[in-house]
Structure 1
């Protein structure tokens, strides 16, 4: 999309022009460097684990986790981005079937998590988040996953009160003509089969990279042998072309497509289309004169086109509120960019810049099979955000560092709904109204490793102000008491959180802990009730307290054995209401692994405590607390064999003892699949086996 027309809309925040100018100047600087003959650098470093199967992730710092997404993980290799996050302590999922669960970090959900892919924001379109952002992410087609917990960075966009998640692809630099290849095949129970190809070829002047995957599975069976509607089929394909005129310059263009379908035991409709279209442009220049180290600019365009219906992957339920075939088609186009500059000296480093984002949400629906295709699109929401940020690190004393960050966002949301919708639509009193908010955020963090100590400590205080997202402004039936609707009545969230952590590394031991305590003003809460026309949701603001943390330890008795474990706990309380809903229970993971660099064997015991701190009738846009849940323990084993450095085989058996259990964060089974009227949580898969073959050069 040409810079001269990108993001252009009258009466909107004019965000495109400065980014396009910056990108043009950066590309011009890269062209000027084209005669350089220095050798190519290897790109950003990637943490590569020395194990064949990932069962738990150890942080690089107490609050930062980086892992190679191409390594197999247990449970069975992930089908989407949210599923992969479950290997990071503190993460859980709101489950509704076999794939596309919604990620939750420390009990925080939705846009409190800043989710990025290749530096761009991908947003789903379903008003109930059937297609959350990570539904469109195939983890193995990326190179690394980075997680920063808590409001401890301002660099990657607005609203990251719970944390930041980045799926990134590295740059395949070549010193001489050559090629790289990484491919895998996965087979498993319930007809699971995946194919992944990631290949690149190029020379010192440039490269081309192609990544593609296909993933499919049938309905699984729980530990009692009951079939759970959960089948899916999805594919993705992405291509990137890069120009690397010297060791420190890059210009890259990229494009991608994808689609899929998914059956949901916990919803009244299934996802029959998850179409994705993405475009990207990136330019980068490193190792500039003096302290000025790097300039980087990115533009992205992400579009999702999602269809949900009750007839493609199931038969309409004649006893439900949707007895006839019907479908809803929703789409969200998100485009934006980022300009970042970096300075670096022995005493300090500074990252600063601006980022912009523009979103347009559309919808159409109809009764009858595929009748929606003949309906016109209607726009119901537009939103913009422009933010400026700076984060400074100061090495003010030996082995001591102070980090400070400041961010200011200008957010705008426009209500385009002409009517309120529903069975008896009424004129929308906020039609055409635009809300604008100025939202400051900041952090300060002290990092220290005392002289002679193997332990690094950090103490950080962060504050984030977050604009309510599309699902909080447009999905609720009602707004706060006395308000016209949620769009008019919901206030921005303000989170202040203290984070403290330590990381000990010495000899055979690696231990870490990350604790937090926060105060959320105007926390956005969903209240559920039953009305004459079905379920009614009200979005309200309330103040809340949160606290909890994660800790882990790893012990290597020798060069072949590794023993470890982690513990994660989240607690929340809402003033005047009680327990914060949709909070995961205490969870522990214990693992043991043997690896002699040819053979590997491993075991994982996952234990979740009972959760009795619940608040039925309250929740989020996806679901509500269904009541207390009992604890459970699941034991899994894995093994692997390295035929060569290039060819590896990994296998595992999940839920070895065929336990019947359900996660606390869950949806109730839908009556169309025979679930009873009272809420029944969806059970997880019973005993299942998988096999993964990986080849790379």
Structure 2
């Protein structure tokens, strides 16, 4: 097992929120290395706290409340500022501070796995099982250039540790969860090794039936998922690692808010990485990795539902799309006293293909046709002046060359297909991003920071290829949508004492050529979308605190607010989450613990009706709500823990503001109605670690 210091062991018995805060690194510390990371003996996580300025680190294997819906977006919601575009049970699309899509850079083991559905039914987090990873790291805002291009809203990294063995041995971790509506999850992680190397195998399975909302109505939402990964590592000395890995997965998911369901989410992943530390002189370390990821996705209207004769798809239909993304990264780090520098290069190649047909499984007889090709190469560098001191300047710069090739011969399909006027057209763009941030530690446990960042982002597949129309007068979106540029100021304070930890972060940004979707109802033919570039601005803040009232009692809470405006029209930016507050109370005994989480969300009237992103649009104002969740846990043995909880204790009927409208295929009315969230839900989880 990973070694834990005596101080960490003493703090391990504290509730989750406090333990995270007390063990947090100083604001100037770097993110923990794989070997230095350790898992805290925490219980049920209801909220996460920042580890350092704009950096959040949490363990995705810990029990969480409300119980996550098996996808990465729900795990992120324990971090203030995150929300998700909901569409029923699983695979919500993550939103940070009202920003969506490729404004969030999502990595798993520093590789990119991009979904293929033109409407993001299979967003990147659909293929990530959070509980099979050791660490979730989040960087808010354009305050890093190390992990790829275009991360104007932030960077999300799911990471696995490097196992190290002093002698030959075996480690095992596993969990099982059961809950309402036939919810059952299983996770198993086995690692065997010796000082010279290791083999690690992990897998999970998750299943749930359709849930009932607070009024007892069935919401189509069932899913079934599995993932498996294996890694083989060579560790000839404590400073060297060479690892190769492979993984696969698949799933089905029914969606109350879509005209089709997900009949296949097939994933195949291959990767290799090399790490070398303790190099001579100022050269501290070198890291390199390569990856090859494929997402193969099938959408249809007959596997998990019956075709609706009154819809725009009255007959059985299916679409099979896939996306292969290959890439790599090499970086090196140097250290001279209090000056630290990291520099490197990265590259990515992503190909999109598809086929579709009328009739049950008729698509299988057709070949897949490539319709888009993306390529990007980048170079980056970050420098820290005053590393490990009380005054730090951190800055970074990256330059990317992005290229896109339109290979669609036709627009639309079937009788509606038309020749594509931009067939074989190519776009190339040089993009620059950078930031500078100052951090300062003051007396009394107070730290403040202020950073200015700028990010340039090439429009992604969904913005170039999914809209029916581009800006007025354009041939289509591919020819006319300009890259989006974000300039943002981030400021914040952190305060730590033995009994009280508090933090606040605020931001204000200007978005040039913000990419906005506008929807128009097309009757039986469905809605059409138009992509435009507009000038926009955003602002908001998050804050949190945890207070150790007594030896066994902890009171904590957080607030998150986001705002955005279309400067061209003076109207709101769409898809802005409402003000959200969380209040948690926890009691921790020697073996027992208990807690309560009160979540309150205000009404949202700041909406742009009919506008949004490729997944969702504003459906109008939404009502506020409040829910209560309770949990308890018991440490049976040092290796075995049982936790249980009840979410939405009072069986409230409510829906999230960021949501899809219910599909008429399941009896929802023609007028847009948000999909309601689950009613009272009970769950029981068993965790074992050997």
Same fold (TM over 0.5): yes
1:555 aligns with 2:540: no
Match 1:88 to one of 79, 91, 94: 79
Aligned CA distance change for structure 1 residues 506 and 674 (closer, same or farther; 3 Å): same
**CA deviation after TM superposition for structure 1 residue 644, in Å:** 1.2
Where 1:556 maps in the other structure, the secondary structure is strand
CA contact (8 A) 2:213 2:653 kept: yes
Distance 2:234 2:52 in 1: 33
Match 2:311 to one of 317, 320, 335: 320
Give the superposed CA RMSD.
1.2
CA contact (8 A) 1:480 1:539 kept: yes
Match 2:428 to one of 411, 428, 436: 436
1:140 counterpart residue number? 131
**CA deviation after TM superposition for structure 1 residue 77, in Å:** 3.8
Distance 1:413 1:45 in 2: 40
1:503 counterpart residue number? 494
CA contact (8 A) 1:273 1:306 kept: yes
1:226 counterpart residue number? 217
**Contiguous gaps of at least 5 residues in structure 1:** 1-40
Render the CA deviation track for 1:93-145: whole Å, top value 9, x for unaligned.
00001000000000000000000000001100000000000000111000010
Render the CA deviation track for 1:567-608: whole Å, top value 9, x for unaligned.
000000002330000000000000011112310100000000
CA contact (8 A) 1:412 1:436 kept: yes
1:265 aligns with 2:268: no
Where 1:271 maps in the other structure, the secondary structure is strand
1:24 counterpart residue number? none
**CA deviation after TM superposition for structure 1 residue 48, in Å:** 3.6
CA contact (8 A) 1:606 1:634 kept: yes
1:66 counterpart residue number? 57
Match 1:606 to one of 591, 599, 609: 599
Distance 2:480 2:444 in 1: 52
**CA deviation after TM superposition for structure 1 residue 347, in Å:** 1.3
Q: TM-score, normalised by structure 1?
A: 0.93
**CA deviation after TM superposition for structure 1 residue 231, in Å:** 0.1
1:536 counterpart residue number? 528
Where 2:416 maps in the other structure, the secondary structure is coil
Where 2:315 maps in the other structure, the secondary structure is coil
Match 2:626 to one of 591, 616, 633: 633
CA contact (8 A) 2:69 2:89 kept: no
2:365 counterpart residue number? 374
**CA deviation after TM superposition for structure 1 residue 50, in Å:** 4.4
Aligned CA distance change for structure 1 residues 387 and 421 (closer, same or farther; 3 Å): same
1:410 aligns with 2:401: yes
Q: Which residues in structure 2 correspond to 1:340-355 (within 5 Å)? A: 340-355=331-346
Aligned CA distance change for structure 1 residues 49 and 570 (closer, same or farther; 3 Å): farther
Match 1:425 to one of 417, 427, 447: 417
Where 2:550 maps in the other structure, the secondary structure is coil
1:33 counterpart residue number? none
1:483 counterpart residue number? 474
Render the CA deviation track for 1:40-95: whole Å, top value 9, x for unaligned.
x9943336444310000011024111001110000114401111101111000000
2:235 counterpart residue number? 244
1:446 counterpart residue number? 438
**CA deviation after TM superposition for structure 1 residue 453, in Å:** 3.0
Q: How many residues align?
A: 656
1:7 counterpart residue number? none
1:566 counterpart residue number? 558
Where 2:665 maps in the other structure, the secondary structure is helix
1:16 counterpart residue number? none
Distance 1:42 1:298 in 2: 16
CA contact (8 A) 1:51 1:595 kept: no
1:686 aligns with 2:679: yes
Match 2:642 to one of 635, 638, 649: 649
- 584-593 or 338-347: bigger deviation: 338-347
Distance 2:214 2:493 in 1: 39
- 661-670 or 556-565: bigger deviation: 556-565
Where 2:52 maps in the other structure, the secondary structure is coil
Where 1:527 maps in the other structure, the secondary structure is strand
Where 1:643 maps in the other structure, the secondary structure is strand
Match 1:106 to one of 61, 76, 97: 97
